[in-house]
Structure 1
């Protein structure tokens, strides 16, 4: 049996295939408000950030009333109006269950608001698979490391016993700022060169590779027992 580790996952683009829905919802909201519609790549670059800094990065500082309307319309677009499917990645559930059987602790650090993550977990009936979570409206957003600090403190793991798994440069920068091992996945918003440039220690192309990678890191003592 491997030594228990705390494995913290990003959500969108890492466990859930929601990138296309986020992109199209953001573009539809911009069109509705008669703002310049951002490109697909521009929207992908903000995935992982909380919504307010994401809006500012894409559109600059909006007047207060327009900013509030953007927040409301985007939530309507994503939750009700946009019908783009958002399934878990095909090997996400089996990977999570395997890590649980190996006695690892699992958590989520996401740019979603708490209401959004709880809604998805309720729909998928998977909340009990995770030992903890932090959302963007509960603490400082990525790439600030506060989400990771809070989860490590709550679940009683050190940075040397913790891994962050994510698909964006924001995840990798957050991990490095917190002093935890950063593992990038290449099927989300950013490719391997960008992930490594942002501090990824390891990069995988499929989630099912993660348990074996963790076993290898433990054998090489790259993470603590």
Structure 2
């Protein structure tokens, strides 16, 4: 396998410290729709899916699509009405991304957010046009289907063996496996280390800054690593 030249990132919980906001927004949307309010752990467990898939996963026994649609509509409305102050990126994210781009890495985003939501976040952080490719769940198949990654790789003319997916959920890691890509898991986002390790990522990091250290040491996508090493 060749050296890594393409880094593809999830957004919520990987680059952006937005998990808490998503949890509170979903719980409030459920309450307003008259649906049982899911606990925070349940909501964290569906972050990464497209919004319709996420709501369906929260209420697998619900047969009334109108009730599910009410949660969807409430979530979208509340998320659009969030304060103008952008949700923060995790420490070290912007500096690392700028450094990797300067080093010649190709950068992309594969997210369960909708296009409107992602573009709003990119605009707020002055990152519109920063990534060479972005894909959202409302314009392709939801994770863990590999189509999102396959479309990014085609757009960038990049090989799966030279690309790395970085994400905080099993959906990210399974999507990478389904696309014949390797993945690095981050433990500071939506899902626990134990959940992530069950998906067999090539590495697991506890802080975003650790990714650069690991990349400099691992060098190649195919090189094995020991979980917990820098």
Do they superpose with TM above 0.5? yes
Residues in 2 aligned to 1:81 and 1:32: alpha-carbon distance in whole angstroms: 16
Q: Is the 8 A contact 2:115 2:139 kept in 1?
A: yes
Q: Is the 8 A contact 1:21 1:85 kept in 2?
A: no
Q: CA shift at 1:29, angstroms?
A: 0.7
Runs of 4+ in 1 over 4 A off after TM superposition: 81-85
Q: Is the 8 A contact 1:4 1:105 kept in 2?
A: no
Change (3 A) 1:32 1:218: same
1:155-211 Cα offsets, whole Å, 9 max, x none, are: 011111000000111111111111111100110011222111012110011111212
Secondary structure at 1:127 match in 2: coil
- Structure 1 residues 105-144: aligned runs within 5 Å: 105-144=106-145
Residues in 1 aligned to 2:22 and 2:114: alpha-carbon distance in whole angstroms: 14
Q: Which runs of 5+ in 1 are unaligned?
A: none
Structure 1 residue 94 and structure 2 residue 64: aligned?
no
Secondary structure at 1:13 match in 2: coil
Secondary structure at 2:138 match in 1: coil
TM-score (norm 2): 0.90
Q: What is aligned with 1:16?
A: 16
Q: What is aligned with 1:214?
A: 215
Q: What is aligned with 1:58?
A: 58
Q: What is aligned with 2:71?
A: 70
1:66-117 Cα offsets, whole Å, 9 max, x none, are: 3332222111112215799721112111111111111100000000011110
Moved more, 78-87 or 196-205: 78-87
Q: Is the 8 A contact 1:165 1:171 kept in 2?
A: yes
Change (3 A) 1:4 1:129: farther
Q: What is aligned with 1:148?
A: 149
Residues in 2 aligned to 1:34 and 1:82: alpha-carbon distance in whole angstroms: 25
Change (3 A) 1:220 1:68: closer
Residues in 1 aligned to 2:146 and 2:221: alpha-carbon distance in whole angstroms: 26
Count the aligned residue pairs: 222
Q: What is aligned with 2:7?
A: 7
Q: Which runs of 5+ in 2 are unaligned?
A: 225-230
Q: CA shift at 1:64, angstroms?
A: 3.2
Q: CA shift at 1:212, angstroms?
A: 2.3
Q: Is the 8 A contact 2:163 2:182 kept in 1?
A: yes
- Alpha-carbon RMSD across the aligned residues, in angstroms, is 2.1
